[in-house]
Structure 1
Amino acid sequence: MTTVASTRPARRPAPVRTARGRPPRSDRRAGLLLSTPFLVVYLLFLAGPLLMGIVLSFFNTTTVKDGLGDWVGVSNYTQVLRDSLFWDAMWHSVLFTLITTPLMVVLALLFAILASRIRRGRVFYRLAFFAPYVVPSSVVALIFLWMYTPQVGLLPKLFGAVGLPVPDFIGSTSGGWTAVILMTLWWTFGFNFVLYTAAIQDVPPDVYEAAAIDGASPWQQIRLITVPLLRPTTGLVLILQILASLKVFDQIYLLLGGGPDQSTRPVIEYIYDTGFTSYRGGYGAAATMVYFVIIVAISAAWYALRRRSTTPAAPRTAPLPERRTP
């Protein structure tokens, strides 16, 4: 009598857990041991400077003298909240975020979808879109500064060749914002592009094949399959882009220096000028803490909104009919 071996794959043993659902103590020790290097680096370079900044914000510390200086309490915070230059710089950061965030999200999604549907040269296009992201900000600023230079730059010559008025990319407020936005799109576009590309690769190809068999056109597949399945990735890209845009500094500082007449200076450049140019370290630390609280509040609000939208609603049940007594 012959026996036939079962072709079913062996089930993996379930992870061992304690009565309360926690992993065993040995696993917790191993996890703590593996995470210790990261925790040490985090405490040294993130939590440490944060605590030091909180302490400095209550003193009139200057960057040209040793020591904390005199205790001033919340005086630095009241000055920051009443400073019109701080709120002007805050508005510049918000304006930059409102303009660049939709462009970064929509363009990254569009080009990721197009690159995923190209049969030949797909690797080349992905590399070409992501390559600018690894270029240092100083190099990117120098390249675009040459391109924006009046009379000799590439863009002024192109505008003049087609008969269009040449915008002042360096000397005007509108031209300065245009120059910074174009530079930012080319430079940081690749990060969102990679996130969308990875998410598109996770979509099962069987879904597209079934839709094609049912007669769905490529546009219908993108609109009804790709875009809805990428909603979690879109939420992640959106919050990351908002936080990154609010922290804008490099490109504006290197390209325009906050000009002309501080009309493009973001809040981080304002903090830099206050702390390292005016040597008001305590006041700069207070402005940093105010801006830090604003960013944390935005992140917390977005997290609460996302958690509420992803929490499934409780199913509604019909009320039971009342029992009639004979």
Structure 2
Amino acid sequence: MADAALSSPANRAAPAKARVQNVQAPLWRNGLFVLPFLVVFVALLVVPLVWGIWLSLHKADAFSSGRFVGFANYVRLYNDKIFWQAIGNTFYFVLLTVPALAVIGLMLALALNSRTRTAAVLRTVFFASSVLSVTIVTLIWRIVFVPGFGLLATVYGWFGAAPPAFLSDPDLVMIAIAIATIWWCIGLPMMLFLSALQQIPGDIYEAAALDNANRWRTFRYITLPSIKRTFVLVVVIQIVLQFQLFGQAKLMTNGGPNNVSKPMVLYIYEAAFTKWDLGLGAAASEVLFVLILIAAMVQFLVSRRKGESA
């Protein structure tokens, strides 16, 4: 009788249901591993973004959020010639640095993609500048560009010529900041390209050599398609980073002469922490966020379409 009760359909279904519940239960508990990341993400990214949007709609200072003014801060930005100049300076700087970082980083990676000791030492040398702080980088390049007794002035003096006034000439000051930035940031693109190049199977190059393919054809039809995604990644990362130019311009020129080297982040800093107009600074930061997002997405979509058409 007891055996019949144990073997009834209801008793057999109960353990099966329990097993199903036990299988599904850990899936909910796995969410606990994601919870710390979500807390940090919301606290450090989502909340500041929402707070910045809210602040940009208020007449705020360092002591109070002030009153709600709607889009008045954005209208003030639209009518501010210095703000438009800062936007132009930022785009000009991005055009100077991002292509150079991508191309030079790829060239260095191609040149140092070997397992020799010399290549390892040179990789370390080129990457070493990336670990320096912006203060040290600007100090080094101010010594190079300073007129009269700087390194560049000394080299020009050997030939009896006057050096260009990189830090005071409106046509050259952004180029000087771009040179310092490229020297500082070249390590990351180089290492990303090196990592991508080392993932390409050597059998493909051996097959190309058997077909008597020269270096240019090998680079064009094998290397470039293989590192296409890494190239897009490098460009997008550098667009995001270089749009945030601040330290180099602040320490090398302080935005001068006549605001020709003032980027958007320096404009935001001066509006929010020099003039204590937090609402205007928040509005400018939201405009910068939108510009970075648009530039990165356009670059990603264009590169993706080219890859699909190829």
TM-score by length of 1: 0.82
Aligned partner (choices 76, 87, 95) of residue 98 of structure 1: 95
Please report how far the alpha carbon of residue 218 of structure 1 lies from its aligned counterpart in structure 2 after TM superposition: 3.5
Measured at CA, do residues 163 and 75 of structure 1 come closer, stay the same or move farther in structure 2, by a change above 3 Å?
same
Measured at CA, do residues 200 and 184 of structure 1 come closer, stay the same or move farther in structure 2, by a change above 3 Å?
same
Please report how far the alpha carbon of residue 25 of structure 1 lies from its aligned counterpart in structure 2 after TM superposition: 4.6
Please report how far the alpha carbon of residue 27 of structure 1 lies from its aligned counterpart in structure 2 after TM superposition: 6.3
Task: Please state if 1:108 is matched with 2:109.
Answer: no
Task: Please state if 1:29 is matched with 2:35.
Answer: no
TM-score by length of 2: 0.86
Partner of 2:257: 260
Partner of 2:51: 52
Q: What is the 5 A alignment of 1:167-178?
A: 167-178=164-175
Instruction: Give me the whole-angstrom Cα distance separating, in 2, the residues matched to 1:68 and 1:141.
Output: 36
Task: Please state if 1:214 is matched with 2:211.
Answer: yes
AA paired with 1:82? N
Instruction: Give me the whole-angstrom Cα distance separating, in 2, the residues matched to 1:98 and 1:31.
Output: 45
Q: Deviations over 1:28-77 (max 9, x none)?
A: 435522222121111112212111111111111112xx221122111111
Worse-matched range after superposition: 26-35 or 259-268: 26-35
Query: The residue matched to 1:116 in structure 2 has which SS?
Result: coil
Partner of 1:200: 197
Partner of 1:286: 283
Instruction: Give me the whole-angstrom Cα distance separating, in 1, the residues matched to 2:25 and 2:130.
Output: 42
Please report how far the alpha carbon of residue 258 of structure 1 lies from its aligned counterpart in structure 2 after TM superposition: 0.7
Task: Please state if 1:158 is matched with 2:155.
Answer: yes
Identity of aligned residues (%): 34
Check whether the contact 2:239–2:296 (CA below 8 A) recurs between aligned residues.
no
Check whether the contact 2:239–2:292 (CA below 8 A) recurs between aligned residues.
no
Partner of 1:182: 179
Please report how far the alpha carbon of residue 187 of structure 1 lies from its aligned counterpart in structure 2 after TM superposition: 0.1
Instruction: Give me the whole-angstrom Cα distance separating, in 2, the residues matched to 1:271 and 1:304.
Output: 29
Instruction: Give me the whole-angstrom Cα distance separating, in 2, the residues matched to 1:312 and 1:103.
Output: 25
AA paired with 2:124? L
Please report how far the alpha carbon of residue 309 of structure 1 lies from its aligned counterpart in structure 2 after TM superposition: 4.8
AA paired with 2:189? N
Query: The residue matched to 2:239 in structure 1 has which SS?
Result: helix
Aligned length: 288
Worse-matched range after superposition: 135-144 or 115-124: 115-124
AA paired with 2:77? V
Q: Deviations over 1:84-139 (max 9, x none)?
A: 11111000000011111111111111110010147442211111111111111111
Q: Deviations over 1:222-259 (max 9, x none)?
A: 23321222111111111222222211111111111111
Aligned partner (choices 206, 215, 230) of residue 233 of structure 1: 230
Instruction: Give me the whole-angstrom Cα distance separating, in 2, the residues matched to 1:53 and 1:154.
Output: 43
Instruction: Give me the whole-angstrom Cα distance separating, in 2, the residues matched to 1:89 and 1:187.
Output: 22
Query: The residue matched to 2:187 in structure 1 has which SS?
Result: helix
AA paired with 2:246? F
Instruction: Give me the whole-angstrom Cα distance separating, in 1, the residues matched to 2:243 and 2:264.
Output: 9
Partner of 2:134: 137
Instruction: Give me the whole-angstrom Cα distance separating, in 2, the residues matched to 1:278 and 1:223.
Output: 53
Measured at CA, do residues 310 and 150 of structure 1 come closer, stay the same or move farther in structure 2, by a change above 3 Å?
closer
Measured at CA, do residues 93 and 32 of structure 1 come closer, stay the same or move farther in structure 2, by a change above 3 Å?
same
Instruction: Give me the whole-angstrom Cα distance separating, in 2, the residues matched to 1:115 and 1:223.
Output: 18
Q: Deviations over 1:164-208 (max 9, x none)?
A: 430112221223223211101110011111110000000001111
Q: Where does structure 1 lack aligned partners over 5 or more consecutive residues?
A: 1-23, 314-326
Aligned partner (choices 138, 146, 149) of residue 149 of structure 1: 146
Query: The residue matched to 1:288 in structure 2 has which SS?
Result: helix
Instruction: Give me the whole-angstrom Cα distance separating, in 2, the residues matched to 1:30 and 1:130.
Output: 42
Please report how far the alpha carbon of residue 285 of structure 1 lies from its aligned counterpart in structure 2 after TM superposition: 0.8
Instruction: Give me the whole-angstrom Cα distance separating, in 2, the residues matched to 1:91 and 1:227.
Output: 32
Aligned partner (choices 103, 121, 126) of residue 123 of structure 2: 126
Query: The residue matched to 1:121 in structure 2 has which SS?
Result: helix
